[in-house]
Amino acid sequence: MTMSTAIEQVVHEAEKQLTDGTWDLVANDSALVRETATALAGAIGPADIHQALPRIERLAALREAIAALAMTIARTHGHLAWFLAQCASHLTPVLHWRALDAPKKSSHLDG
């Protein structure tokens, strides 16, 4: 399952909880969601600009997005914390990608 598919499933579950009344988004949650959305937009930026960036810069932006989610999770509880934690957990492979060594380039001098 791709990250995008996993996040879509979490969003679908959250929408279901909001629709059936299991999750009642209170005013404090709404304000925190707006703050988080602003932070995420600042970290990632517009899609066309983000996609034009080199991979390492896109990776750095995704890491900033995870940090924004973590900061929000630390400030809330309940359904909102569950939702954001699920999103962040599906993005955690991003944290490992940069930790991996770059593949070695082969050259005719190797050997």
Give CA–CA dist 86/20, Å, rounded. Answer: 20
Give the C-alpha separation, 63 to 105, whole Å.
Answer: 26
Q: Give tens-digit pLDDT for 91-110.
A: 888 777 655 555 566 554 44
In 1-111 the beta strands, taken as DSSP E runs, fall at none
Q: What is the DSSP letter of 102?
A: P
| pLDDT at residue 38, rounded to an integer | 92
Q: What is the chain's alpha carbon radius of gyration, rounded to the nearest angstrom?
A: 18
Closest by CA to 73, choosing from 36, 23, 21, 47, is 36
Give per-residue pLDDT as tens, 41-90: 888 888 888 888 888 888 888 888 888 888 888 888 888 899 888 888 88
